[in-house]
Amino acid sequence: MRFEELRVWQEARVLVREVHAALKHMRQDAGLGDQMRRAAISVISNIAEGNDRGSRREFRQFLIIARGSCGELRSQLYVASDLGFIDGERFARLSRQATSVAARLSAFIATLGKTS
C-alpha cells in the first residue's frame, strides 16, 4: 500500500497544514514556531519513510518515532499557548488533532506488533 493511502498519513497531512496556518503570523518566537513545524513534518515524514522501507519491523519503528513527534508537538503547543502565541481555541483544536494522530499511530503500531 502506498503511504498516501494510509488514513494516519492523511490525518497527519491535515495536522501539518493546520500547524503551519496557526503559526503563519507568529513572529515573537521564530525558533519555537520552526520547531513546531518540524515536529509536525516529522510525523508525516516518518510515516512515509517507514512505509516505504519495506519491512514491517522498520515500519513499526518509524511509526513509533512519528508518535514521539506528536508528543513533542503537543508539548510545544502548551508552550505556545502559555506564552500567548496561540489562543485557547486554536490550542485545543491542534492538541486534539495531534492526540488523534498519536492514537491512530498507537493502534497501527499495535497491529504491526501482533503480525510480525
Q: Which CATH architecture has domain 3-115?
A: Up-down Bundle (1.20)
CA 51 to chain centre: 16
Domain ranges for the chain, please list them.
Answer: 3-115
pTM as predicted:
0.91
The CA distance from 26 to 30, in Å, is: 7
The yes-or-no verdict on residue 115 having pLDDT over 70 is no
Cell triple for 110: 499495535
Q: What percent of the chain has pLDDT over 70?
A: 95
Contact assessment for residue 115 and residue 60, using Cβ atoms and an 8 Å cutoff? no
The CA distance from 116 to 23, in Å, is: 40
Instruction: Give the model confidence (pLDDT) of 1-50 as tens digits.
Output: 899 999 999 999 999 999 999 888 776 667 888 999 999 999 999 999 99
